[in-house]
């Protein structure tokens, strides 16, 4: 019920009807200093995600003025199907592997909102299985490439409602926003609109990432 309410709120915000599945693949793109890999939320519109990905990328461009940035929209359904997050997990890891093979000096900032946070969690080895629109891990960024991930930016992360968080290798490089009352990331939360307000955290997320690059 809670996820359906959040999706209804997204629709009222003008988003759900515009959602599309990217036809891009995770094949290597042009090399840059930083590749921002963003996994959007369920039915979220926008290039990288109207609520989180797009405003965060814009904020990163302003904070990291001395760096050349590229972006990648994780190619996955971002719907309510049982394999959606798993597809995103596989595509995100494939993107990192493909880029590293072609761009030996490139680093990454991973961005995930709502279901997209599940995608990122899985990709860094933290299972989202059992969370809202979560899945078992199907791929992880290889240990040898972990230092290439400069920062992990998470918003409305469903695993938090299970009492879980990012631990281990990536913990110090992760910032994980959960708005008060957000029912997707807060166990017992009942403020559906809180899940749609993470644009307000874009600058703080970018500042955190800038300190890790």
CA neighbor of 179 nearest in space, from 189, 167, 165: 189
CA neighbor of 195 nearest in space, from 41, 47, 19, 35: 41
Catalytic residue among 71, 114, 123, 135: 114
Catalytic residue among 35, 91, 121, 182: 182
DSSP letter (8 states) at residue 73: E
Active site (annotated) includes residue 195: yes
Helices (H), the chain: 2-12, 53-63, 84-102, 115-123, 202-210
Active site (annotated) includes residue 114: yes
How far apart are alpha carbons 212 and 207 in whole angstroms?
9
Catalytic residue among 54, 71, 135, 195: 195
Active site (annotated) includes residue 191: no
Residues belonging to the active site? 114, 182, 195
């Amino acid at each position: 019920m809670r996820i359906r309410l959040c999706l209804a709120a997204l629709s009222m915000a003008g988003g759900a009807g515009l959602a599309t599945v990217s036809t891009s693949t995770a094949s290597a793109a042009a090399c840059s200093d930083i590749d921002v890999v963003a996994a959007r939320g369920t039915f979220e519109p926008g290039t990288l995600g109207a609520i989180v990905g797009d405003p965060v990328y814009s904020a990163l461009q302003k904070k990291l003025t001395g760096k050349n940035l590229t972006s990648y929209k994780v190619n996955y359904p971002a719907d309510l199907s049982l394999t959606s997050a798993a597809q995103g997990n596989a595509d995100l890891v494939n993107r990192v592997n493909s880029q590293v093979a072609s761009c030996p000096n490139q680093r990454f900032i991973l961005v995930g909102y709502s279901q997209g946070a599940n995608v990122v969690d899985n990709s860094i080895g933290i299972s989202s299985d059992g969370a809202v629109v979560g899945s078992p891990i199907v791929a992880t960024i290889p240990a040898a490439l972990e230092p290439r991930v400069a920062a992990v930016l998470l918003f409305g992360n469903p695993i938090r409602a299970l009492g879980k968080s990012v631990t281990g290798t990536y913990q110090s490089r992760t910032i994980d926003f959960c708005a008060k009352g957000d029912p997707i990331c807060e166990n017992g939360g009942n403020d559906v609109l809180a899940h749609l307000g993470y644009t307000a955290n874009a600058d703080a997320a970018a500042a955190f990432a800038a300190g890790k690059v």
